[in-house]
Amino acid sequence: MPRKASEKNSGLGRRRFLTGGLSVIAAVVGPWEKAFPQSRKATSTAPSSFEPFTQPAVQISQNGTLRTNLRVVEADVSIRDVQGVRIEHTRCYNGSVPGPTLKLRAGEELRIKLSNELPSLSEHCGKEHLNRPHCFNTTNIHTHGLHVSPEAPSDNSFLRIEPQSDYQYCFQLPDMHPAGTFWYHAHVHGSTGVQSMNGMAGALIIEDPDKEKLVPESRDVVWMIQELMGKGAEKLYSCDHPHAPYTVNGKFQPTLNLRPGEVQRWRFINATATPGGYMDLQLLDRNNTRQEFMLIAIDGYPLRKRQRRTSYVLPPGGRVDFLVRLRRPGRYKMLKRRFQGQAQDQVLAWIDSVGKPLNTPLPRALSSLPPFLNPITDEEIVKRRIIRFQVCPDQARGDICKNYPSAKLCSGDKGHELLANVFLIDGKPYDPDRVDHSIRLGTAEEWEVVNETGAEHPFHIHINHFQVMRPGVAPEDWVWQDTVSLPADRSVKIRSRFLDYPGRFLLHCHILLHSDLGMMQNVEVVGDGKGPLGMV
C-alpha cells in the first residue's frame, strides 16, 4: 500500500463565528457584499497569477482499514482570484478546504474519529427551530453514495456531534461494493447547507483492484467543486443568499497540465448547496469548440455502455467520471455553463496540453457489471409509490398551499429576510419523528418522483442506489444513481432494491438549502439484516 499522505493544518483564527441560526440572520441589515462578481465574462486566456491544479491531501487504507481523524475547526483559508487573495474564515476539516481524500477498497473498514473543535456557543438546536436554519456548530458525517449500514456508529445522519466533543464512526464496506467516486460531508438538519458552503466536504474513493485500474494514479484526478464562503455562508437562507466563486479542490481556476494524447480520468464531485450549483460541464478549446470526453461512471457506479459526450449536466450532490484525451497541444478550459439559478458561466479550470505527444489508447470497458447491478425486473417490484416535491406558494398542485397561508415570495427590497417559502415533500415539511416510508428489507420498489415546481431539484436517497427508468431504453442500460435531477413540472421513475441493511435514513432535495428548510423525508427499512460494524 502507498504511504499515507501528510496533511498540513493552517493556523486557526481567533475570531469566533456568530452562531445562533434565526437570531443571527435576522440581525443582518443593509446590503451584503458579494464575494465574487458573477457577471464577469470568461476569457480565453488563463491569468498567469492563478495557481496550479493540485489534489487534496490523500489518506489510504492499510491492512484492510483506513483510520483517520477529521477535526472540525475554524481556519483562515486563502483563495487567489481575479481580485487578488481573499481570506475566508470558515469551518472546515483539519484546517483546509476541501477535506482529505479518503481511499479504500471494497470489503475494508473506514474508521473516522470526528472531533468537533468548534466553539461551544449558545446553539439553537431544539425542535422549535425545525426546518429553519439553526445548529451551525453542531455536526456529523454522511458518506454520500456508500452502501453501508445507516445505524450508529455507521452512516447515521440523525447523530449530532456537539461542539467540543468527539465521536468514533465505523463503516464496514461490503465485499461487493462497487469501486467508484463518492464523497463525505456534514448532514445535521438545519446546518447541512451552511457547513457544505463553508467547505466541509471531501472525496471518498473506493479504489479498483490493481489489475482493473483504468489509468495510473498520477492520471486519476479528483475535481471537488465547491462554492466556498466562510462566515457569509450563514446568509444562505435569506432572500438574497450570497454567491461565491466556484473552486476546484479549494482553488479558483487552477491550471492542469497534461500531454497531448495522454488519457486521464477526471472524477467530478458537485459539492455545492444552492440552485446555482447545477452545472453544465463543457470542455472547450481556445476557439470555444466543444471537446469530446468519454462518460464512464455516474454517482460512483460504472456504466454498462460508455457514452461519448461534449456536455454533461451535473446536479448538486452528483458525481460523474470522464476519460479525457486531448490529442492537440494548446490551451483548453473546463467551463461550468449556467443551468439554473442566479449563477453565471464560469471557467472552473484551465488545461494546458503541452509536452511530447503520447498515443495512449483508451482503456477497455468492463465486459459486464456485477450481478447485483442486474436490472430490476417487473416481477421483483412489491410496491409502487408516488413522491411529490412541492414549494409554497404557487408551486404545488391542488390545494396543498392552502395549508400554509404564511408562505410567501421574497420581496425585492428586503433581501436580508429569511426565505418564507415552504419546502415540502408530499404536502408536508420534514418531521424527524415521522416515518414517511416503511419498506421491507430485501424487496424492490418502483417510485415515481414528481416535481411540481418550476425549477429542477436533485432527488437523493441515502444507503441504496436506484435505477433511473428511461422510456425507450432497454432496462439493462438504465443507469444506477443516488442523485437524479427532477425536471421542472415533470417526473422521473426509479427502481431500487433495499438490500442488506435495516434502519432509518433520509431522502431529500440535494439543493441543501432546500433540505434544511424542510424538503426531506424519513425512510425506514425493517427486517433482519446486517448491522453496523462493532466498536473495537
pLDDT above 70 covers a percentage of the chain that reads 89
Which residue type is seen at 494? Answer: I
Give yes or no for residue 61 having a pLDDT over 60: yes
Residue count (the chain): 536
What is the structure's pLDDT at 67?
98
Q: Give the mean pLDDT of 51-72.
A: 97
Give yes or no for residue 455 having a pLDDT over 60: yes
Give yes or no for residue 18 having a pLDDT over 50: no
Q: Give the mean pLDDT of 298-305.
A: 94
Kindly report which listed range (64-73, 119-128, 163-172, 423-432) carries the lowest average pLDDT score.
Answer: 119-128
What digits encode the pLDDT tens for the residues 240-269?
Answer: 877 888 999 999 999 999 999 999 999 999
- Describe the strand order of the beta sheet including 58-60 as a list of residue ranges: 58-60, 101-104, 201-206, 180-185, 142-144
What digits encode the pLDDT tens for the residues 200-209?
Answer: 999 999 999 9
SS3 for 138-206, per residue? CECCEEECCCCCCCCCCCCCCCCECCCEEEEEEEECCCCCCCEEEEEECCCCCCHHHHHHHCCEEEEEE
**Is residue 481 within 8 Å of residue 469, measured between CB atoms?**
no
**Is residue 238 within 8 Å of residue 28, measured between CB atoms?**
yes
Give yes or no for residue 2 having a pLDDT over 60: no
Mean pLDDT over the full length of the chain? 89
Give yes or no for residue 46 having a pLDDT over 70: no
What is the structure's pLDDT at 412?
64
What is the structure's pLDDT at 20?
32
What is the structure's pLDDT at 19?
31
* pLDDT greater at residue 418 or residue 318: 318
Going by pLDDT thresholds of 50, 70 and 90, the confidence category of residue 487 is: very high
What digits encode the pLDDT tens for the residues 467-480?
Answer: 999 999 999 999 99
What digits encode the pLDDT tens for the residues 181-223?
Answer: 999 999 999 999 999 999 999 999 999 999 899 999 999 999 9
Give yes or no for residue 37 having a pLDDT over 80: no
Q: Give the mean pLDDT of 162-178.
A: 96
What is the structure's pLDDT at 84?
85
**Is residue 243 within 8 Å of residue 272, measured between CB atoms?**
no
Give yes or no for residue 369 having a pLDDT over 90: no
Give yes or no for residue 324 having a pLDDT over 80: yes
What is the structure's pLDDT at 9?
35
Give yes or no for residue 295 having a pLDDT over 60: yes
**Is residue 202 within 8 Å of residue 141, measured between CB atoms?**
no
User: Alpha helix (H) ranges present in 9-101?
Assistant: 22-26
Give yes or no for residue 323 having a pLDDT over 90: yes
